[in-house]
A and B are shown apart, each in its own frame.
Chain A
Amino acid sequence: MSTTLKARVLSVLLLLGLLCIWELSTPRITDAENMTEYELLMGGASEEARVPPPSAIILKAYEELTDPLYDNGPNDKGIGIQIAYSLYRVITGYTLAALVALPLGFLIGMSPLAYKTLDPFIQVLKPISPLAWMPLALFIIKDSEASAIFVIFICSIWPMLINTAFGVAGVRRDWVNVARTHELTDFRTAFTVILPAAAPTILTGMRISIGIAWLVIVAAEMLVGGTGIGYYVWNEWNNLDLTSVIFSILVIGVVGMLLDSMFARVQTAVQYQE
């Protein structure tokens, strides 16, 4: 048995062990047979919100995942629909950010003048929490959907911008000089020499951005509500339904992981050895 396989088996056993401990340590609460009216009105002990055992979460996951596309009205939709709304917002905001950040980053990386001019703005805007933009966005854009997309845009633009600029500026001078001796135009130099050379750094920036975008969408949707996985969490929090909350946390984690691994593949594809 190889080490990898052993490690895998051990990981699974560890997980199962931890789940068993969690399951067993969750007290089973049953109410007395004959409750007084006061006790009934208080809901008894079993109705109180508490951290659920893993079995309840698995059951919940089964229920939600077998019927992911149900639609019981505007405030109660299946997990699949909610995820789709969130992904739509993330992808739209992210794409817009990429359209702005990549060319701008290229410019900044290639021109020291542009770099020096824009640097103060970037330094001030970069550390602002994307959610702090939300009230302003709602007021100015006057549309909660567009505001959520704007928040994704503003949070995913910085890592891409900075990494692109950094990658472009860091291309070895020798390579650019070689291109110049071959009398390549600036345009061709940018696309055939600088872009491939800077690609790994740019991709790192894009990967960081998508991660941040996915983090932020949950918070943004909790704020504006309506649809999306963030709203789902908020709605269940409303009801102190921790089973659903834990389930949605897991879903958010899995989707985030998938997004990240997608970019990881692209990143390996553009990687090169000097």
Chain B
Amino acid sequence: MTSKSFSNPYDGDIDLRHGRNCTCTSCNSNTTSTSKAEDTAKPQPTFSDTDEALSHMVESAVVRAMFGHNDISRRSFAKLLGGGTLAAALASVFPMEAAKAAIADSLGKPEKSKLSVGFVPITCATPIIMAKPLGFYEKYGLDVDVIKTAGWAVARDKSLNNEYDAAHMLTPMPLAITMGAGSVAEPYLMPAVENINGQAIVLHVDHKDKNDDPRKWKGFKFGVPFEYSMHNFLLRYYVAEFGLDPDVDIQIRVVPPPEMVANLKAGNLDGYLSPDPFNQRAVWEKVGFIHKLTKDIWDGHPCCAFACSAKFANTMPNTYGNLLKALIDATQYASPATNRQEIAEAIAPKNYLNQPVPVIAQVLTGRYADGLGNIHDVPNRIDFDPFPWHSMGVWILTQMKRWGYIQGDVDYKTIAEQVYNAADAASVMKSLGLEPPTKTYKSYDIMGKTFDPDQPEAYVKSFAIGQG
């Protein structure tokens, strides 16, 4: 849509609105947009597709703003920031007050309704998966095939090949892809986190005597699902806090999650920090026990995410918007404990996770057996919260720096803000009647150590063990 509102987005003084007397072509051709601020003050134009046009406009503005394009809604931006140098950084402030109302009800018709979304069969992907059987994609006019993927290397390649329109990824992956770490560099976006918590350290049943003190783990072989994963960074962080150098004292291997239990059973691994249901499955198979939930390392840590290429979001803003809406809606639905049993049953079949229902139910409801003879009740063992905090991105980048995955000077905040698309998540959350946070940075307390997102470099240097 060519809209007058986009022609000079940085100038707050020129009236670009398509008012009633506007003579521009798009108004004459029955497509009118008004600035949402004036909606109540002025008589409403009676065109049938006003809402559609309006939401399209605002959505485009949000999306374009995110990627540093120039086509930005004048009112939203000029008023909020006074025009001038608008960089990617303003993305974090912009949509909270500006875009919400317009995106509210109807986005435009998706440019493409038949989509492929990849997932790795783990409970972290719950919102992406359940949105299919529980009809969230349909609700937003999308016909989505959720495609099971063997591991993250393949998920990454299939995403970069455009076989998947969007995919379930680990939160560090879009950062790594954007920076070209372990991949070709391609601007990626992560507009929503899938789950928080929900991982665990599992040890082989033979190591029950070493459960009390990680210092006894010297020489252990651990599995993690991917190099650029929270699992890898949390495991490294955890053992390092107990004085073990993860690059020297233990061995960390990359093992695709579905192969974790088989490898533990075969004695190839002494333990792993992996996504569920494979932690609970190890208990179910009586080959492992749960040493620690990752929730107890960092309560509220992000894990998996929904990600797509910046190109996809740019070229198909309505599809992207609807998909994001469907996922945030699903994520929201997954959060209350009362829905968890239903979800467990919906995602257990062969087409999705292919796991016994009781295993998934234990993960999702948080009432579980730990393999040591105890039953625990931890309702937030896994939780679902879509908001992609920029501070999470900064933390991940500090760990990538700490363990030598990235070298040199890192512009932590810029990268986190470019990739973690908090603005889109916030506007969609608003439109669904949710309350997004009003800031995008906060500090975390991880095993008694405070992380300050404003001092990333000092944080990296503060660790005794590491390569930073």
Contact = CB atoms under 8 A, between A and B. Distances in A.
B163 A143 contact: yes
B237 to A, nearest CB: 29
Contact of B350 (A47, A76, A237, A240): A76
B355 A41 contact: no
B274 interface: no
Given A49-B285, A74-B147, A238 B369 contact: no
Interface string B139-161: 00000011111100110011011
Dominant secondary structure of chain B at its interface with chain A: mixed
Contacts of A41: 358, 362, 367-369, 375
B68 interface: no
Interface residues of B, number: 42
A37 B375 contact: yes
Contact of A237 (B147, B262, B374): B262
Given A41-B369, A138-B157, A225-B154, A240 B262 contact: yes
A226 B369 CA distance: 33
Contacts of A223: 150, 154
Interface in A45-90: 47-49, 72-76
B312 to A, nearest CB: 15
Q: Please classify how large the interface on chain A is, using the bins under 10, 10 to 19, 20 to 34, 35 or more.
A: 20 to 34
B285 A224 contact: no
Contacts of B371: 42
Contact of B163 (A76, A144, A237): A144
A237 B257 CA distance: 11
A240 B368 contact: no
Contacts of A138: 154, 157, 161
A103 to B, nearest CB: 32
A51 to B, nearest CB: 13
Given A75-B350, A144-B163, A47 B284 contact: yes
Given A142-B161, A144-B161, A237-B262, A74 B285 contact: no
B148 A75 contact: yes
A235 B354 contact: yes
B358 A224 contact: no
Contacts of B154: 138, 144, 223-225
Contact of B351 (A49, A74, A144, A238): A74
Q: Which 4 A-B pairs have the closest CB atoms?
A: A41-B369, A76-B351, A238-B258, A225-B150
Interface of A: 37-38, 40-43, 47-49, 72-76, 135, 138-139, 142-144, 222-226, 234-240
Interface of B: 121, 132, 145-150, 153-154, 157-158, 160-163, 258-259, 261-262, 281, 283-286, 349-352, 354-356, 358-359, 362, 367-369, 371, 373-375
